[in-house]
Structure 1
Amino acid sequence: MTSSTPARATPFHCPYCGEEDLRPEDGAAWLCDACRRVFTVEFVGLRIPEVSR
């Protein structure tokens, strides 16, 4: 990605109450319209199992 703004990870539901009515906030944060919590989502990486030989 060539943009200076990091890509925003898109959640499908609020991790606190489970509602799906989420709105983007400043930066990479999300606002849950139901419980009014603001949170971020961070992609850490993929875990690939080691192959034993």
Structure 2
Amino acid sequence: MSERAAPFYCPYCGEEHLEPREEHGAWFCADCVRSFQLKFLGVGAPRTTASPPSASQPSKENDR
């Protein structure tokens, strides 16, 4: 597991007494007795959400 995916506090109670679990990315909080898992999604170029024109919107070619 990479160091940048290590949590600083529990997402449930906010305490810092965390222990790594055997599963990849899993952590255990000794204060609230809950387990959680981290998943690093990464950073990259933002995705564009451009969609093709719908049938209700005329295209530029039909405007001639």
Superposed structure 1 runs of 4+ greater than 3 Å apart: none
* Deviation of the 1:31 alpha carbon: 0.3
Distance, in Å, in 2 between the alignment partners of 1:37 and 1:47 is 32
Larger-gyration structure (1/2): 2
What is the correspondence of 1:1-53 to structure 2 with a 5 Å cutoff?
A: 7-8=1-2, 9-28=5-24, 29-48=26-45
- What fraction of aligned residue pairs are identical, expressed as a percent? 49
* CA apart distance, 1:47: 4.7
Task: State the number of aligned residues.
Answer: 44
Q: What is the rounded CA distance, in whole Å, between the counterparts of 1:36 and 1:13 in structure 2?
A: 13
Name the structure with the higher helix share.
2
How much has 1:48 moved relative to structure 2?
4.4
Unaligned ranges ≥5, structure 1? 1-6
Structure 2-normalised TM-score? 0.58
Question: With CA pairs under 8 Å and 6+ residues apart, which has the higher RCO, 1 or 2?
Answer: 1
Aligned to 2:56: none
Q: Pairwise CA RMSD of aligned residues?
A: 1.8
Structure 2 unmatched runs, 5+? 47-64
